[in-house]
Amino acid sequence: MNDLNGKVAVVTGGVSGLGLGMAKALARAGCRLALTYRNQAHADAAAQWFKANGFEAPLLVKLDVTDRARFAEAANEVEAHFGKVHILVNNAGVSVFGPTDEASYADYDWIMAVNFGGVVNGLVSFIPKIKAHGEGGHIVNVASMAAYLAGPQAGIYTASKFAVRGLTESLRYNLAPYNIGVSLMCPGLTRTNAWDSALKRPEEFAGSGFGAVDAQQLETFGKAFDLGMDPEEVGDKTMKGIRENSPLILSHPEFAQDFKEIYEASLAALPDEQAPPERLEIERLRREANRAALAGQVISLDDLT
């Protein structure tokens, strides 16, 4: 989408941190905004910023992204207010850390419900509306570099981001025939308050296997976020990805070594042997179907065999 002027964009968790950085970039590109929020003080501060900088007031929509019924209502509210929706940025998430081998069901249920389930709820609520007007659009699913890089303190968080990555890469093929672009956005360390998620854990998920939160330890860890990239810079790089319909938006340059190691380890893990012609043909058909999907063809199971 090269011309974004007048397009309607929805950003979940769009009143603080990375979401607000993206919202500001969208506003500068001429978009009209609907921003979801949970914290009223953050919503008020965001509204004041847009007013002070001469932008149209965003529609502020209170929303817990895990609430499917409320998400559907929110989508209807946005459509009723603006008439159409063109861009969806699924940004809301929680960053919670702890040893995966000690995690409880509550840890899994909460983190996956927000980080993956929230994306799903956004897609189910808004894709039909974007498809219906026929003008095309774009979806950005915000993951993290954890969609590629695992670590000992972020197993469930990493699982949620890997899930968002896989869903996004597949969805791109499905929506190309409708002129709807799809991008996976994977930021690195960003100057936000994402580190304090564990301090806001809902009561229904209180039974953590990670033990009681050490607020002082968490705050010390949070100081690393002060060294992160400005959220507005990440927002500007995301805007470039939307305009170019990039399948993958990477905002931080410091991960070349990691990607090289992943690439080399993946190649080294492949068996050094020749695959039979029948299997090679199936994979050829898969690759052709993917290319055809990106060119605008709707793919069925018949195209894969």
Q: Which residues are catalytic?
A: 157
Find, among 58, 61, 62, the residue nearest to 46 by Cα. 58
**Looking at this protein, which amino acid is placed at residue 13?**
G
Cα 98–Cα 99–Cα 100 angle in degrees, nearest 5 = 105
Taking the C-alpha atoms of residue 8 and residue 27, their distance in angstroms, rounded to an integer, is 10
Find, among 42, 56, 52, the residue nearest to 5 by Cα. 56
- Cα 122 vs. chain centroid, distance in angstroms? 10
Tell me the β-bridge partners of 37.
Answer: 62
Say if residues 168 and 138 touch (Cβ distance below 8 Å). no
- List alpha helices for the chain, DSSP H: 17-28, 40-52, 68-82, 105-115, 117-133, 155-175, 215-222, 231-243, 256-269, 277-294
Q: Give the residue carrying structure tokens 């949620």.
A: 160
The two tokens of residue 2 are 């090269």
